[in-house]
Amino acid sequence: MSPALSPRPPASVIGRRVNRVEGRAKVTGQGRYAADHHPAGLAYALGVGSPIAAGKLLALHTAAAERAPGVIAVLHRGNFPKLTPSPNNFSDGTKVGEVRLPFADDTIFYAGQWIAVVVAESFAQARAAARLIRADYREDPPELSLGTAQWPERSQLSADAPDLTRGDPDRAWREAPVKVEATYTTPVEVHNVLELHAATAAWDQGKLTVEDSTQWVVGARKALAKILDTPARDITIRAPFVGGGFGGKLFVWATPSSPRRRPGNWAGRSSWSWSASRPLRSSATGRPPASASKWARGPTAPWSCSGTTA
Amino acid sequence: MKGNKVAIKLKINGALRRCVVEPQAVLLDVVREQLELFGTKKGCDHGQCGACTLLVNGRRIVSCLTLAVMHDGAEVTTIEGLEQNGQLHPVQTAFLECDAFQCGGCTSGQIMSAVGLLGEPVGPDDNAVAQAMSGNLCRCGAYQNIVAAVQQARARRG
Amino acid sequence: MRAFSYHRAATPAAAIAAAGSTTAYVAGGTTLIDLVKLDVLRPARLIDVNGAGSAAITARADGGLRVGALVRNSDLARHPLVREKYPVLAEAILSGASPQLRNMATTGGNLMQRTRCTYYRDGISPCNKREPGSGCAAWEGIHRSHAVLGGSEACIATHPSDMCVALAALAATISLQGRAGRRTLPFDAFHLLPGATPEKEHALLPGELITAVTLPAPAKGERSWYLKLRDRESYEFALASAAVVLRLQGRRIASCRIALGGVGTKPWRAHEAEAVLTGAVPAEALFRHAAEAALQSARPRPGNAFKVELARRVLVRVLALLVEGQPSVRQI
């Protein structure tokens, strides 16, 4: 039920030129974006990405990085706390950008995939230490084309069951005298927003507050609640200023979720800051994937579509 | 490599600040992390987007491609230093009035770049302004209004 | 970035004394800091030379101009004597990079600019320039922006500087100071062809520091221009560019010097084109003939073959413009 509309619009706003309400904050640099926070005891997390696009991480050498000045910890598969994969359900608000959790296995799925995270007192120290990490890989030929990808069943559009069914599309298609079937593709789009993906997370007596660069605060909260196995009521996601999203910041991505884990006994820090570097951002975080969809239409049949993305 | 840090002085927005920094600490990171002036943004970290633009000794530069240690004793102006006694800088006012931003991610860098431009011999036409602002990218596409804002600020400055 | 130590030199001699096999000079930092962040360059020690040299532009008695190595690119482009006597240089500088980068970059640093080849910069692909003997990923890879002149199977990386193309056409002289004392180099001798050793980019001796660039006095009636063709109208490297310094006498071209950018592994002085033009009567057909001579030795790869014709056309265009008159340097 929509609320009754007021018979007269407020005269103070309609028809007048009004500057953006957040304008002063933006032109004075006072608007706080996700990485613009410095809670007490803040540490900096910098991801180290795989240079290969497919294969296996065989060995990781982190001793030199761990000894580097200012380094608090180097996280990797061997010491990363176990997280819970999100149910990845849009209607529950737990849809995530990447279902696989960071460091879940030794398989390399894409170039830029995190193989380690350096946590240090400053960004400069984290970066200097990251350069000291060595890794051995088995490199496999990467899958570069949608043409060799698997097509799902014709009627399967997503993991969610449809909310509404009407008619019998399969029969209409079978009986259509004229059929038009074509495949349409779209390439990967990288948003290249000015504000890199970033998050500053702080734990305080069991409650987590995340200053996040997200287009979906509710989804981030619900997904993180599942991933971190923490009640949603104990998680606050704040995004008062977001420096562009364009669809690339809709869902929580595996890389941003890792620094949010409650620190265990290897680090006494309760607050973390993370932001992507430009090359890492385009591979490891949000972007519409390349897609290919087959559309089929008969003269009386409704559209049916099956698609795959990569 | 212990004991590698260097003590430097920076005059930031008129105030003398002392910092102890590693040689490899980039000016942008020192401004944000140590001085906690978050108005200057990191958009690419490689001098290609202009979001980190600030003034050093009155000149606009990209602060991500220079080291803090290289500017010991320098005067640095960031976006936070433009407003004086509650009064916005003419460029800030122009950006507000011309709606020269959307998400705001590039805005600090655009404004600092425009302030730097005011001190440079740029031709009077919009094309010259566009070229003179070409070091600042705007993903939201506010370019048209940004040029208008810069022209307004120039005109009002006289 | 990997950690490094930092030393600020007070004089060129002090900088040279501090230099060693693991040090790098830093002035503007726009190339060095970028590449150190990418882990492509890994100096153990940075020697800051911003206070160790000249930032002056001085008129010489012979009518030439001496430009201190520390003169910022933006200052050089805006200097009244540069705009008046060497418009090719002012226009070339202003067509490159961004205003912020031009405020930081120095004359000496611009000479030392490194290639934008993505394989060089990614720190991991086979790259003979970065890791001698590892191969050249660009050869069979994506090489749209790579060189068609001066390359070898070891390396086809383009030299990215606009200023250097103008300096090549101006036949500038580079002043150096090193452990063995001072010397000068003609501009064309400074940058090296990759050959079998693409890691050797410059004719600098270890520890040598650029101290100045000297421009010869312009000849009476000399005109000069720079035109840069690229995918975007600003803030983008050249696909092909041409710098021409020309003097007409009566109906004929009395002298000319030509350099091409965006197409060579070093700033490319086009002697063959100069030979065609010198003493000849300007005409479209002549310009075309000169352009063909300039690109005669081009050896393109499949992905950059378009540059050959593009380079011919930009040269023809600049010649045609200059014969009409002296264009005005952009005011940005």
Domain B6-78, CATH class in plain words: alpha beta
Helix axes C306-324, C284-294, angle to 10 degrees: 140
Contact C2 A124 (CB under 8 A): no
**Are A290 and A186 spatial neighbours (Cβ–Cβ below 8 Å)?**
yes
Q: Distance, in angstroms, between C240 CA and closest chain B CA? A: 20
State the sign of the Cα–Cα–Cα–Cα dihedral A248, B43, B50, B87.
positive
Structure tokens given for C108:
């000496």
A43-140+191-284 has which fold?
Aldehyde Oxidoreductase; domain 3 (3.90.1170)
Task: Give chain A's radius of gyration (CA, Å).
Answer: 23
Count Cβ atoms below 10 Å from residue A164 Cβ, excluding itself. 4
**ipTM score for this prediction:** 0.97
Structure tokens given for B51:
């979001």
State the sign of the Cα–Cα–Cα–Cα dihedral A261, A266, A268, A269.
negative
Q: What are phi and psi of A45, to 5 degrees?
A: -110, 130
Q: If pLDDT is split at 50, 70 and 90, which confidence band does B59 have?
A: very high
Determine contact: A244 vs chain B, CB below 8 A. Answer: yes
**Are C264 and C285 spatial neighbours (Cβ–Cβ below 8 Å)?**
no
Secondary structure of chain B: what % helix, strand, coil (to 5)? 40, 20, 45
Q: If pLDDT is split at 50, 70 and 90, which confidence band does A304 have?
A: very low
| pTM score of the predicted model | 0.91
* Cβ burial A38-65 (10 Å sphere, 16+ → b, else e): ebeebbbbbbbbbbbbbbebeebebeeb
pLDDT in tens, A125-154: 888 899 899 999 999 998 887 766 665 554
**Are A137 and A50 spatial neighbours (Cβ–Cβ below 8 Å)?**
yes
What integer is the mean pLDDT of C268-281?
Answer: 98
Residues 6+ away with beta carbon under 8 Å from A195: A33, A34, A213, A242, A243, A244, B41, B43, B103, B105
Q: Kindly list the domain boundaries of chain C, sorted by start residue.
A: 1-48, 222-324
Q: If pLDDT is split at 50, 70 and 90, which confidence band does A250 have?
A: confident
**Are C184 and C172 spatial neighbours (Cβ–Cβ below 8 Å)?**
no
Q: Kindly list the domain boundaries of chain A, sorted by start residue.
A: 43-140+191-284
CATH code for C222-324?
3.30.390.50
Which of B79, B103, B113, B139 to substitute to test the interface with A, most A CBs within 10 Å?
A: B103
- Residue A262 is predicted with a pLDDT of 38
Q: Given a contact as 3+ CB pairs under 8 Å, which chains touch A?
A: B, C
Query: What span, in angstroms and rounded, lies between the C-alpha atoms of C188 and C173?
Result: 9
Q: If pLDDT is split at 50, 70 and 90, which confidence band does A6 have?
A: low
**DSSP of C50-116:** TTSS---EEE-TTS-EEEETT-BHHHHHH-HHHHHH-HHHHHHHHTSS-HHHHHH-BHHHHHT----
**Residue A308 pLDDT greater than 70, yes or no:** no
Secondary structure of chain A: what % helix, strand, coil (to 5)? 20, 25, 55
Q: Are strands C45-48 and A271-275 parallel, antiparallel or unpaired?
A: unpaired
**Are B108 and B138 spatial neighbours (Cβ–Cβ below 8 Å)?**
no
Q: If pLDDT is split at 50, 70 and 90, which confidence band does A272 have?
A: low
- Residue C1 is predicted with a pLDDT of 83
Q: Kindly list the domain boundaries of chain B, sorted by start residue.
A: 6-78, 90-157
The secondary structure element, H or E, covering residue C213 is: strand C209-215
Asked which of A95-104, A203-212, A245-254, C97-106 is least confident by mean pLDDT, the reply is A245-254
Domain B90-157, CATH class in plain words: mainly alpha
**Are C103 and C74 spatial neighbours (Cβ–Cβ below 8 Å)?**
yes
The counts of H helices and E strands in chain A are 7, 13
Query: What's the start-to-end Cα distance of chain C, in Å?
Result: 34
Structure tokens given for A233:
């009521």
Query: What's the start-to-end Cα distance of chain A, in Å?
Result: 40
CATH code for C1-48?
3.30.43.10
Determine contact: B132 vs chain C, CB below 8 A. Answer: yes
What integer is the mean pLDDT of C99-119?
Answer: 98
Q: Using DSSP, state whether C307 is helix, strand or coil.
A: helix
Which of A26, A249, A271 to substitute to test the interface with B, most B CBs within 10 Å?
A: A26
The secondary structure element, H or E, covering residue B143 is: helix B143-157
**Residue C281 pLDDT greater than 90, yes or no:** yes
Q: Which of A2-11, A80-89, C109-118 has the highest mean pLDDT?
A: C109-118
pLDDT in tens, C42-63: 999 999 999 999 999 999 999 9
**CA geometry: angle at A128 spanning A126 and A132, to 5°?**
105
Structure tokens given for B21:
């920094």
Helix axes B90-97, B107-118, angle to 10 degrees: 130
What integer is the mean pLDDT of A200-219?
Answer: 91
Helix axes B143-157, B107-118, angle to 10 degrees: 40
Residues of B in contact with A243 (CB under 8 A): 41, 103-106
Count Cβ atoms below 10 Å from residue A92 Cβ, excluding itself. 14
Contact B47 C331 (CB under 8 A): no
Which of B24, B35, B36, B38 to substitute to test the interface with A, most A CBs within 10 Å?
A: B38
